[in-house]
Each structure stands twice: as C-alpha cells, then as structure tokens.
C-alpha cells in the first residue's frame, strides 16, 4: 500500500508541475516570447521531442520543471 502512495504522490507532483509550467509557457507565448524548452524534472534527460521551435521533455528527478 505504501508503494502505491509514493507512486500517487509522484504522479500528482508531475501533473502539478506540468500545469504550473504550462501557465508560464502560455503567458510567454501570448506576449510574443520565444520558448525554446519546456521540461518537467531536473537532471539527465529521459525523453524529449521538438515541435516547432520548442523542445519538450522529461528529466530524471521529478521535483520541478522549467520553460
């Protein structure tokens, strides 16, 4: 049961960070700023893809994000 709680916490943290960073992303784009990266997590890159001028991805430590 405890493992399920830890996994649920990590999932909730990732979703929360993604929503928060998406707010920055939308605001920057609305005001004409170029957004070159949108990542969730810190550390080494686990996965990434580029769409248009923005690189999207996930990094190994799910404790934040940036764009």
Structural domain boundaries enclosing 47 = 2-66
Tokens of 26: 């939308």
State residue 41's pLDDT score: 87
**How confident is the prediction for the chain on average, in pLDDT?**
91
Q: What percent of the chain has pLDDT over 70?
A: 99
Tokens of 30: 């609305």
State residue 46's pLDDT score: 95
**Placement of tokens 């990094």 in the chain:** 59
CA pair distance 10, 18, nearest whole angstrom: 12
pLDDT tens for each residue of 20-61? 999 999 999 999 999 999 998 899 999 999 999 999 999 998
Does the pLDDT of residue 10 top 90, yes or no? Answer: no
Total domains in the fold of the chain:
1
> Does the active-site annotation cover 37?
no
């Amino acid at each position: 049961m405890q493992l399920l709680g830890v996994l649920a916490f990590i999932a909730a943290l990732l979703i929360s960070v993604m929503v928060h960073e998406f707010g920055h992303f939308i605001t920057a784009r609305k005001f004409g700023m170029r957004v070159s990266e949108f990542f969730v997590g810190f550390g080494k890159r686990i996965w990434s893809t580029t769409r248009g001028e923005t690189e999207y991805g996930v990094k190994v430590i799910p404790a934040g994000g940036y764009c």
